[in-house]
Amino acid sequence: MSSSAAIPVFQTTPRAWCLVSNHRIYNTLNQANFDEKNFIDGYNLYISKDTQDYTAGNVNYTGALKFSFVTPMRDNKYKVFVSAYNASGTPYMSHALNSAQYPKTPESFWIRLGYWLDGANQPLAGSGRTKNQIANGRLWENGSSVIGVYVL
C-alpha cells in the first residue's frame, strides 16, 4: 500500500484507514476473497474474515467486527474513529472496543455497530434485539452498508 497524505482536519498523517462495504460471501473461507467483496479502499487496514460465521448459510457477526493492520502498530496507543451508514442514509451507532473479549492490540481492534429503532422506538422487527443489546448482525449481500475507519 502506498503512503497516505496528512488530513488537514487532524493535522497529522493517519496510521491506517479503510473503507469497507458489507457484502455477504458464502463458502469463502479465505481473506483474499473476503477482501474482494468487502474492501473498497484503504491504507494499512482491512476488515478481517475472522469476524464472520459461515456456518448457517448466512454470514453473521456476533457482537463486533474485527479490523486488522497490514503492518502492526508499535503498541495499542492509537485512536480509532468510525463512521458507518447504510444506503438509506441512516447512521449506525458505531465505536471501537477495548475489553477482555474484544481487545485493542498492535495487530487489530474491534468495532461494534449499533442498530436503529423503528418509528415507535422499538427494535426493528426480526432483528432478535431488545433495547440496549446488540444482536447478531448480517453482512448484507447488496452492499447497502458502509463502514469508514480512520486510525491516528
Residue 37 DSSP SS3 = helix
Is 72 a domain residue? yes
Burial class (CB in 10 A: 0-12, 13-18, 19+), 41: exposed
Is 47 a domain residue? yes
Per-residue pLDDT of 1-30, as tens digits, reads: 455 555 555 567 889 999 998 776 666 668
Average pLDDT of the segment spanning 62-71: 86
Average pLDDT of the segment spanning 79-106: 84
Is 7 a domain residue? no
Q: Quote the domain boundaries for residue 136.
A: 16-151
CA distance 91 to 74: 32
Q: Indicate whether 130 pLDDT > 90.
A: no
CA distance 117 to 106: 35
Is 3 a domain residue? no
Give the chain's domain count.
1
Is 77 a domain residue? yes
Is 124 a domain residue? yes
Q: What share of the chain is helix, strand, coil (3-state, %, to 5)?
A: 5, 35, 60
